[in-house]
Protein backbone atom coordinates (compact mmCIF):
# COMPACT_ATOMS: atom_id res chain seq x y z
CA UNK A 1 0.00 0.00 0.00
CA UNK A 2 1.61 3.28 -1.08
CA UNK A 3 1.71 6.43 0.99
CA UNK A 4 0.00 9.39 -0.64
CA UNK A 5 3.24 11.12 -1.61
CA UNK A 6 4.36 7.99 -3.48
CA UNK A 7 1.22 8.24 -5.64
CA UNK A 8 2.25 11.65 -6.91
CA UNK A 9 -0.97 13.44 -5.95
CA UNK A 10 0.31 15.27 -2.87
CA UNK A 11 2.50 18.32 -3.19
CA UNK A 12 3.99 20.43 -0.43
CA UNK A 13 5.82 23.71 -0.26
CA UNK A 14 8.28 22.36 2.30
CA UNK A 15 10.25 19.12 1.88
CA UNK A 16 9.78 16.06 4.10
CA UNK A 17 12.54 14.51 6.18
CA UNK A 18 14.34 11.29 5.33
CA UNK A 19 11.51 9.05 6.57
CA UNK A 20 8.68 11.60 6.24
CA UNK A 21 7.75 10.69 9.81
CA UNK A 22 7.83 12.02 13.36
CA UNK A 23 11.06 10.07 13.84
CA UNK A 24 12.86 12.51 11.56
CA UNK A 25 13.17 14.59 14.73
CA UNK A 26 16.42 13.20 16.08
CA UNK A 27 16.02 10.90 19.08
CA UNK A 28 12.25 10.45 18.78
CA UNK A 29 11.14 6.81 18.63
CA UNK A 30 7.76 5.18 17.96
CA UNK A 31 6.57 1.73 19.01
CA UNK A 32 3.34 -0.22 18.59
CA UNK A 33 1.57 -3.16 20.15
CA UNK A 34 -1.27 -4.53 18.00
CA UNK A 35 -4.00 -6.83 19.31
CA UNK A 36 -6.13 -8.67 16.74
CA UNK A 37 -7.93 -11.60 18.33
CA UNK A 38 -11.17 -13.57 17.98
CA UNK A 39 -13.86 -13.35 15.31
CA UNK A 40 -17.63 -13.01 15.24
CA UNK A 41 -20.05 -11.75 17.88
CA UNK A 42 -19.17 -9.73 20.94
CA UNK A 43 -18.58 -12.00 23.92
CA UNK A 44 -17.51 -9.65 26.71
CA UNK A 45 -13.93 -10.78 26.16
CA UNK A 46 -13.46 -9.99 22.48
CA UNK A 47 -13.25 -9.80 19.56
CA UNK A 48 -10.35 -7.34 19.76
CA UNK A 49 -9.08 -4.91 17.15
CA UNK A 50 -7.11 -2.55 19.36
CA UNK A 51 -3.63 -1.69 20.57
CA UNK A 52 -1.30 0.97 21.92
CA UNK A 53 1.21 3.29 20.26
CA UNK A 54 3.99 5.04 22.18
CA UNK A 55 5.97 8.12 21.19
CA UNK A 56 9.26 8.33 23.10
CA UNK A 57 10.74 11.87 23.04
CA UNK A 58 14.35 10.82 23.62
CA UNK A 59 16.50 7.83 24.47
CA UNK A 60 17.25 8.84 28.06
CA UNK A 61 15.26 8.80 31.30
CA UNK A 62 12.34 11.07 30.44
CA UNK A 63 11.32 11.58 34.06
CA UNK A 64 14.81 12.80 34.92
CA UNK A 65 15.12 14.82 31.70
CA UNK A 66 11.70 16.19 30.89
CA UNK A 67 10.93 17.80 27.54
CA UNK A 68 9.24 21.15 27.01
CA UNK A 69 5.65 20.46 25.99
CA UNK A 70 2.14 21.78 25.67
CA UNK A 71 -1.32 20.35 25.04
CA UNK A 72 -4.17 21.88 23.08
CA UNK A 73 -7.85 21.00 22.82
CA UNK A 74 -9.57 21.60 19.48
CA UNK A 75 -12.78 19.93 20.72
CA UNK A 76 -12.87 18.34 24.15
CA UNK A 77 -15.15 15.30 23.92
CA UNK A 78 -12.47 12.89 25.11
CA UNK A 79 -10.87 11.02 28.00
CA UNK A 80 -7.24 12.09 27.71
CA UNK A 81 -4.96 11.64 30.72
CA UNK A 82 -2.32 13.93 32.16
CA UNK A 83 -3.00 16.94 29.96
CA UNK A 84 -3.75 19.40 32.77
CA UNK A 85 -0.32 19.13 34.43
CA UNK A 86 1.35 19.53 31.03
CA UNK A 87 -0.62 22.76 30.56
CA UNK A 88 0.38 23.94 34.03
CA UNK A 89 4.08 23.01 34.11
CA UNK A 90 4.99 22.89 30.42
CA UNK A 91 6.82 19.57 30.49
CA UNK A 92 6.25 15.90 29.66
CA UNK A 93 7.95 13.28 31.86
CA UNK A 94 6.84 9.93 30.37
CA UNK A 95 6.46 8.51 26.89
CA UNK A 96 3.23 9.62 25.22
CA UNK A 97 0.82 6.73 24.74
CA UNK A 98 -2.20 6.49 22.41
CA UNK A 99 -4.84 3.77 22.75
CA UNK A 100 -8.57 2.94 22.66
CA UNK A 101 -10.85 4.99 24.91
CA UNK A 102 -11.54 2.62 27.79
CA UNK A 103 -7.95 1.41 27.88
CA UNK A 104 -6.76 4.84 29.03
CA UNK A 105 -6.68 4.22 32.81
CA UNK A 106 -4.87 0.90 32.41
CA UNK A 107 -2.30 2.41 30.04
CA UNK A 108 -1.74 5.35 32.40
CA UNK A 109 -1.25 2.90 35.27
CA UNK A 110 1.26 0.97 33.16
CA UNK A 111 3.26 4.12 32.43
CA UNK A 112 3.28 4.90 36.16
CA UNK A 113 4.55 1.42 36.99
CA UNK A 114 7.34 1.64 34.43
CA UNK A 115 8.33 5.15 35.56
CA UNK A 116 8.53 4.00 39.19
CA UNK A 117 10.67 1.02 38.19
CA UNK A 118 13.08 3.38 36.45
CA UNK A 119 12.90 6.04 39.20
CA UNK A 120 12.36 4.37 42.60
CA UNK A 121 12.17 7.70 44.44
CA UNK A 122 8.83 8.58 42.80
CA UNK A 123 6.08 8.70 45.42
CA UNK A 124 8.41 8.59 48.42
CA UNK A 125 8.64 12.31 49.01
CA UNK A 126 11.81 14.18 49.83
CA UNK A 127 13.14 12.93 53.19
CA UNK A 128 12.18 9.29 52.74
CA UNK A 129 13.86 8.99 49.35
CA UNK A 130 17.15 10.43 50.52
CA UNK A 131 17.13 12.84 47.60
CA UNK A 132 15.06 15.60 46.15
CA UNK A 133 12.24 14.48 43.92
CA UNK A 134 8.58 14.93 43.18
CA UNK A 135 5.88 12.95 44.98
CA UNK A 136 4.23 11.82 41.75
CA UNK A 137 4.56 11.15 38.04
CA UNK A 138 2.28 12.40 35.28
CA UNK A 139 1.68 9.88 32.46
CA UNK A 140 0.30 11.33 29.22
CA UNK A 141 -2.26 9.17 27.39
CA UNK A 142 -4.46 10.08 24.42
CA UNK A 143 -7.31 8.09 22.96
CA UNK A 144 -9.91 7.58 20.30
CA UNK A 145 -12.71 5.03 20.40
CA UNK A 146 -12.19 1.76 18.51
CA UNK A 147 -15.49 0.34 19.78
CA UNK A 148 -17.03 -0.15 16.33
CA UNK A 149 -14.54 -2.91 15.58
CA UNK A 150 -13.32 -3.95 19.04
CA UNK A 151 -14.68 -4.93 22.45
CA UNK A 152 -14.26 -1.73 24.47
CA UNK A 153 -15.62 -3.11 27.73
CA UNK A 154 -12.94 -5.76 28.20
CA UNK A 155 -10.11 -3.18 28.25
CA UNK A 156 -7.36 -5.59 27.15
CA UNK A 157 -4.44 -3.14 26.96
CA UNK A 158 -2.39 -2.92 30.15
CA UNK A 159 1.12 -3.25 31.53
CA UNK A 160 2.33 -6.15 29.37
CA UNK A 161 1.08 -4.51 26.19
CA UNK A 162 2.63 -1.13 27.03
CA UNK A 163 5.93 -2.84 27.78
CA UNK A 164 5.73 -4.53 24.38
CA UNK A 165 5.07 -1.22 22.61
CA UNK A 166 8.03 0.39 24.38
CA UNK A 167 10.24 -2.57 23.47
CA UNK A 168 9.16 -2.04 19.85
CA UNK A 169 10.00 1.68 19.90
CA UNK A 170 12.58 2.64 17.30
CA UNK A 171 13.75 5.54 15.21
CA UNK A 172 13.46 5.27 11.43
CA UNK A 173 10.37 4.47 9.36
CA UNK A 174 7.07 4.39 11.27
CA UNK A 175 4.53 1.63 10.71
CA UNK A 176 1.21 3.16 9.63
CA UNK A 177 -2.41 2.19 9.06
CA UNK A 178 -3.78 -0.81 10.96
CA UNK A 179 -1.24 -0.92 13.74
CA UNK A 180 -1.05 -0.09 17.45
CA UNK A 181 -3.60 2.48 18.56
CA UNK A 182 -4.91 2.66 14.99
CA UNK A 183 -5.86 -1.01 14.74
CA UNK A 184 -9.57 -0.47 15.28
CA UNK A 185 -10.14 3.14 14.25
CA UNK A 186 -12.06 4.66 11.34
CA UNK A 187 -11.55 7.77 9.24
CA UNK A 188 -14.20 9.35 6.99
CA UNK A 189 -16.16 6.09 7.03
CA UNK A 190 -13.13 4.12 5.80
CA UNK A 191 -10.45 2.27 7.72
CA UNK A 192 -8.15 4.79 9.36
CA UNK A 193 -5.34 4.31 11.82
CA UNK A 194 -1.85 5.65 12.44
CA UNK A 195 -0.23 8.11 10.06
CA UNK A 196 2.94 10.17 10.17
CA UNK A 197 4.77 12.87 8.21
CA UNK A 198 7.47 15.51 8.63
CA UNK A 199 8.81 18.75 7.23
CA UNK A 200 12.31 20.22 7.17
CA UNK A 201 12.53 23.99 7.39
CA UNK A 202 14.89 26.00 5.19
CA UNK A 203 18.25 27.22 6.44
CA UNK A 204 16.94 30.73 7.08
CA UNK A 205 14.49 29.14 9.57
CA UNK A 206 17.21 27.10 11.26
CA UNK A 207 16.90 23.87 9.23
CA UNK A 208 14.74 22.50 12.04
CA UNK A 209 12.41 19.53 11.66
CA UNK A 210 8.71 19.26 12.48
CA UNK A 211 7.34 15.72 12.86
CA UNK A 212 3.73 14.61 13.21
CA UNK A 213 1.97 11.40 14.21
CA UNK A 214 -1.83 11.00 14.16
CA UNK A 215 -4.38 8.47 15.36
CA UNK A 216 -7.41 9.08 13.10
CA UNK A 217 -10.97 8.20 14.03
CA UNK A 218 -13.27 10.92 12.71
CA UNK A 219 -15.43 12.15 9.85
CA UNK A 220 -18.14 10.80 7.57
CA UNK A 221 -17.38 9.61 4.05
CA UNK A 222 -19.02 12.52 2.22
CA UNK A 223 -16.73 15.00 4.01
CA UNK A 224 -13.45 13.51 2.80
CA UNK A 225 -11.34 16.06 0.92
CA UNK A 226 -7.94 15.13 -0.52
CA UNK A 227 -5.65 17.92 -1.70
CA UNK A 228 -8.65 20.17 -2.16
CA UNK A 229 -10.65 17.60 -4.17
CA UNK A 230 -14.08 16.59 -2.72
CA UNK A 231 -13.36 12.87 -3.01
CA UNK A 232 -16.12 12.00 -0.55
CA UNK A 233 -18.75 13.33 -2.94
CA UNK A 234 -17.75 10.68 -5.48
CA UNK A 235 -16.34 7.69 -3.55
CA UNK A 236 -18.35 6.04 -0.80
CA UNK A 237 -17.95 2.79 1.20
CA UNK A 238 -19.55 -0.26 -0.47
CA UNK A 239 -22.12 -0.60 2.32
CA UNK A 240 -24.10 2.20 3.96
CA UNK A 241 -22.31 3.48 7.03
CA UNK A 242 -23.82 2.42 10.32
CA UNK A 243 -24.35 5.37 12.60
CA UNK A 244 -21.23 6.00 14.64
CA UNK A 245 -19.98 8.48 17.20
CA UNK A 246 -18.65 11.74 15.85
CA UNK A 247 -15.14 10.39 16.30
CA UNK A 248 -11.83 11.83 17.38
CA UNK A 249 -8.23 12.46 16.41
CA UNK A 250 -5.01 12.57 18.38
CA UNK A 251 -2.24 14.71 16.90
CA UNK A 252 1.31 14.56 18.27
CA UNK A 253 3.84 17.20 17.13
CA UNK A 254 7.58 16.96 17.73
CA UNK A 255 10.37 19.38 16.87
CA UNK A 256 14.06 19.88 17.50
CA UNK A 257 13.61 23.67 17.47
CA UNK A 258 14.17 25.33 20.89
CA UNK A 259 10.58 26.52 21.24
CA UNK A 260 9.02 27.52 24.54
CA UNK A 261 5.51 26.54 25.61
CA UNK A 262 3.92 29.66 24.14
CA UNK A 263 5.50 29.00 20.77
CA UNK A 264 4.58 25.30 20.87
CA UNK A 265 1.05 26.36 21.72
CA UNK A 266 0.90 28.50 18.60
CA UNK A 267 1.90 25.47 16.52
CA UNK A 268 -0.76 23.32 18.21
CA UNK A 269 -3.40 25.79 17.12
CA UNK A 270 -2.18 25.54 13.52
CA UNK A 271 -2.70 21.76 13.58
CA UNK A 272 -6.43 22.42 13.30
CA UNK A 273 -5.87 23.95 9.85
CA UNK A 274 -4.25 20.75 8.62
CA UNK A 275 -7.18 18.80 10.02
CA UNK A 276 -9.64 21.12 8.25
CA UNK A 277 -7.88 20.63 4.91
CA UNK A 278 -8.97 16.97 4.98
CA UNK A 279 -12.65 17.89 5.31
CA UNK A 280 -13.10 17.77 9.07
CA UNK A 281 -15.78 20.03 10.50
CA UNK A 282 -14.94 19.26 14.14
CA UNK A 283 -18.21 17.66 15.23
CA UNK A 284 -19.48 18.42 18.74
CA UNK A 285 -19.00 14.83 19.86
CA UNK A 286 -15.43 14.64 18.61
CA UNK A 287 -12.35 14.54 20.83
CA UNK A 288 -9.68 16.43 18.89
CA UNK A 289 -6.46 16.93 20.86
CA UNK A 290 -2.91 18.04 20.12
CA UNK A 291 0.27 17.33 22.09
CA UNK A 292 3.48 19.12 21.10
CA UNK A 293 6.99 18.83 22.48
CA UNK A 294 10.48 20.10 21.76
CA UNK A 295 13.55 17.92 22.19
CA UNK A 296 15.89 20.92 22.26
CA UNK A 297 15.73 21.82 25.96
CA UNK A 298 15.49 19.13 28.65
CA UNK A 299 14.44 20.01 32.19
CA UNK A 300 16.04 18.07 35.07
CA UNK A 301 13.62 16.55 37.58
CA UNK A 302 15.13 18.70 40.34
CA UNK A 303 17.68 21.14 38.89
CA UNK A 304 20.78 21.78 40.97
CA UNK A 305 20.38 25.51 40.42
CA UNK A 306 17.84 27.88 39.03
CA UNK A 307 18.25 29.64 35.73
CA UNK A 308 21.06 28.84 33.33
CA UNK A 309 21.56 29.56 29.67
CA UNK A 310 19.20 27.97 27.17
CA UNK A 311 18.88 28.34 23.41
CA UNK A 312 16.40 31.06 22.55
CA UNK A 313 14.36 31.07 19.37
CA UNK A 314 13.43 34.44 17.95
CA UNK A 315 10.30 33.52 16.08
CA UNK A 316 9.73 36.41 13.75
CA UNK A 317 9.80 36.48 10.79
CA UNK A 318 10.12 32.69 10.29
CA UNK A 319 7.26 31.46 12.50
CA UNK A 320 5.04 31.40 9.43
CA UNK A 321 7.25 28.63 8.05
CA UNK A 322 6.81 26.62 11.25
CA UNK A 323 3.04 27.05 10.94
CA UNK A 324 3.12 25.92 7.31
CA UNK A 325 5.20 22.89 8.27
CA UNK A 326 2.66 21.82 10.89
CA UNK A 327 -0.32 22.32 8.60
CA UNK A 328 1.24 20.37 5.74
CA UNK A 329 2.53 17.54 7.93
CA UNK A 330 -0.77 17.08 9.77
CA UNK A 331 -2.68 16.93 6.49
CA UNK A 332 -0.26 14.42 4.95
CA UNK A 333 -0.13 12.26 8.09
CA UNK A 334 -3.92 11.94 8.04
CA UNK A 335 -3.88 10.88 4.39
CA UNK A 336 -1.17 8.33 5.16
CA UNK A 337 -3.36 6.83 7.89
CA UNK A 338 -6.01 6.24 5.23
CA UNK A 339 -3.87 5.12 2.30
CA UNK A 340 -1.81 2.71 4.41
CA UNK A 341 -4.83 0.98 6.02
CA UNK A 342 -6.38 -2.29 4.87
CA UNK A 343 -9.93 -3.59 5.32
CA UNK A 344 -10.70 -4.86 8.83
CA UNK A 345 -13.64 -7.01 9.97
CA UNK A 346 -14.30 -6.59 13.67
CA UNK A 347 -16.80 -7.55 16.32
CA UNK A 348 -20.28 -8.58 15.19
CA UNK A 349 -19.08 -8.53 11.60
CA UNK A 350 -18.67 -4.75 11.63
CA UNK A 351 -16.39 -3.82 8.74
CA UNK A 352 -14.29 -0.83 7.83
CA UNK A 353 -13.12 -0.99 4.23
CA UNK A 354 -9.80 0.23 2.91
CA UNK A 355 -9.96 3.42 0.90
CA UNK A 356 -10.13 2.30 -2.77
CA UNK A 357 -7.00 3.94 -4.11
CA UNK A 358 -7.78 3.40 -7.80
CA UNK A 359 -11.19 5.06 -7.42
CA UNK A 360 -9.61 7.97 -5.56
CA UNK A 361 -6.98 8.42 -8.27
CA UNK A 362 -9.68 8.43 -10.94
CA UNK A 363 -11.54 11.23 -9.13
CA UNK A 364 -8.33 13.17 -8.59
CA UNK A 365 -7.60 12.89 -12.30
CA UNK A 366 -10.99 14.32 -13.21
CA UNK A 367 -10.13 17.35 -11.07
CA UNK A 368 -6.78 17.81 -12.79
CA UNK A 369 -4.65 15.98 -10.23
CA UNK A 370 -2.65 13.51 -12.29
CA UNK A 371 0.16 11.12 -11.44
220/86 Cα distance (integer angstroms): 32
Measured N-to-C along each axis, helices 104-118 and 159-168 cross at an angle, to the nearest 10 degrees, of: 70
Q: Of 24, 256, 288, 301, which one is the catalytic site residue?
A: 288
Q: Give catalytic status of residue 286 as yes or no.
A: yes
Residues 300-303: contacts with CB under 8 Å, at least 24 apart: 300/64, 300/65, 300/66, 301/63, 301/64, 301/65, 301/66, 301/93, 301/119, 301/133, 301/134, 302/131, 302/132, 302/133, 302/134
Q: Give catalytic status of residue 145 as yes or no.
A: no
Q: Of 248, 280, 294, 323, which one is the catalytic site residue?
A: 248
HSE toward the beta carbon, residue 108, CA cutoff 13 A? 19
DSSP conformation class of 279? T
Number of C-beta neighbours around residue 356 at 10 A: 14
Q: Give catalytic status of residue 248 as yes or no.
A: yes
Q: Of 150, 221, 280, 286, which one is the catalytic site residue?
A: 286
- Active-site positions read 248, 286, 288
Amino acid sequence: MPRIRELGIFESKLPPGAHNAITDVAGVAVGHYTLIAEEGAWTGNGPFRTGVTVIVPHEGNIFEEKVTAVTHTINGFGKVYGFEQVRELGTIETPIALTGTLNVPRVADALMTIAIEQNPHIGLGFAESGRQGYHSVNPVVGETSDGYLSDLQARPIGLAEVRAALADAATGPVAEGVVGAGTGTSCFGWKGGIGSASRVLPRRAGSFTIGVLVQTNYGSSEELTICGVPVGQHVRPPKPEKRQEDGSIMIVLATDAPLDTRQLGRLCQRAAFGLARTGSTCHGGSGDFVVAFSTANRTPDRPAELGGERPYFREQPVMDLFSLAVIEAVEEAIYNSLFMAHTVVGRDGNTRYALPVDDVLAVMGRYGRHL
